[in-house]
Amino acid sequence: MGDTATMTDQIRVLVAKPGLDGHDRGAKIVARALRDAGMEVIYTGIRQTPDMIAEAALQEDVHVVALSVLSGAHLELFPRVVAACRQRGITPENTLFLGGGIIPDEDAEALKQDGFSAVFGPGAHTGDIAAFVRLHVPELDRS
Amino acid sequence: MSAEALDAPPTALNGRLAELDERLRQKDRRALARVLSWVESGDARGRAMLRALYPRSGRARTIGLTGSPGAGKSTVTNELAKAFRGRGQSVGIVAIDPSSPYTMGAILGDRVRMTELYSDEDVFIRSLASRGALGGLSAATQDVIHVLDAYGKDVILIETVGAGQDEVDIAGAAQTTILVNTPNMGDEVQTLKAGIMEIADVLAVNKSDLPGANRMVSALKALLSLNPDRGWDAPIVRIIGTSGEGIDALAAACDSHFEELERSGRLKTAERQRARQQITSLARANLLNRLYTESGEAELDRWSEEVASRRSDPHTAAAIWLSDFGLGES
């Protein structure tokens, strides 16, 4: 009981898969790991359009939007999700954008230019993802 | 909060809060999302907003959906939302999933079954983690409903945590409670047990294309025939959530129940009962929080050891722990 009233800082994360690839193993593992790190993870499932993801991020008022694409279309899809979010007032200033998938370094750099705080590829430690979120969520403008 | 602050008129919002209030009146969904976060976390800003919004609430119809995990609550919620949208009503959905008792983390996955509603601006879905509450809802559920209501939602659907037999808080939180059953849920003794079977205003038999549906319907009928007269016989509605079959009948059954509440005057008494429940649960939480001070926790640790080692018993320890706060036995 003592705990339930003092959860102002509970971190909420949206884990979503834009595009058409149905490989959600990685997304589910990350969702589970963030749950185990004490976060509330909203999982929306596969084959989401950028607008669907942005709308879910808006309604759920999440701190983090974590996207996974394994088809190689990340340079196509990730920026479109960011754009749909920006249209709704969800920006890298008030929300962390994380990308996951098989993403070459030069693509990761391009995504960072576009508003992504970090990109995690194969071999990334789930503990590192949770630590990154914990470190950077307090820097967001949540007024 | 000082007594003075409590006496201030409920509209006395300033700065950022006044701006958010104005945005809520303009139906700004992002403002709604932020106010819901504050309300959910018990933030002082959330309480201030709630005070201002509360007089504008009380207009929405509230329908709860409960049932065991996998019964199809999310799918049925999705279909019901579409049915109410088809009538031109705006819909709010509150979907609750359990928090881990160990880490307080949660996976909120009810949206997976509701993706077709995302493109409709008149549907607002909010996922809540139970955050330690045990009755199938979260402590803030009622406040989240008040805010969606004040925002202007016509119908609010509340989907509980996958419930066992004892998670019956939804009956106190919503005007109408739907219990979602499925074929082959166990023998008839299950339907005789107390708890969740008693709170249903409408009984849905989902997945009714599966074998065993007829037996489930007969078992429910037999159960209902034994129920004492509550002025309302819960209708049994066969549905197939994944195809939408029977959903219009389910919505119609909810309508009939609501009309009966209005006709009998129970709508008003139930509203008072809900208010009473929320006041007492808030007061209880407030009292408990006052006990969990640093010295209170230390005393609690000490007494836990006393009781565990059989030097004291739980009743005595609780009485003495309370008396330290000037709350001796009356």
Rounded-to-integer distance, Cα A116 and Cα A118, Å:
6
Instruction: Check residue B304 and give its pLDDT.
Output: 96
B111 and chain A: CB distance < 8 Å anywhere?
A: yes
Q: How far apart are CA A98 and CA A107, in angstroms?
A: 13
Cα B198 to Cα B33: distance, rounded to the nearest angstrom:
34
The pLDDT-based confidence of B202 (bands split at 50, 70, 90) is very high
What is the C-alpha separation between B268 and B32, in angstroms, rounded?
27
pLDDT at position B45 over 60 = yes
The ipTM is 0.91
Q: Which of B107, B124, B131 sits opposite A7 (nearest CB)?
A: B131
Judge: B104–A7 Cβ closer than 8 Å, yes or no: yes
pLDDT digits (tens, 9 = 90+) for B221-245: 888 887 777 788 899 999 999 999 9
Q: Number of A:B CB contacts under 8 A? A: 109
**Interface contact flag, A38 B132, Cβ < 8 Å:** no
For residue B177, the model assigns a pLDDT of: 93
Angle at B117 between CA B115 and CA B119, to 5 degrees: 100
Paired tokens of B314: 């739980």
The confidence band for B81, taking pLDDT boundaries of 50, 70 and 90, is very high
Search chain A and give the residue with CA nearest B282: A5
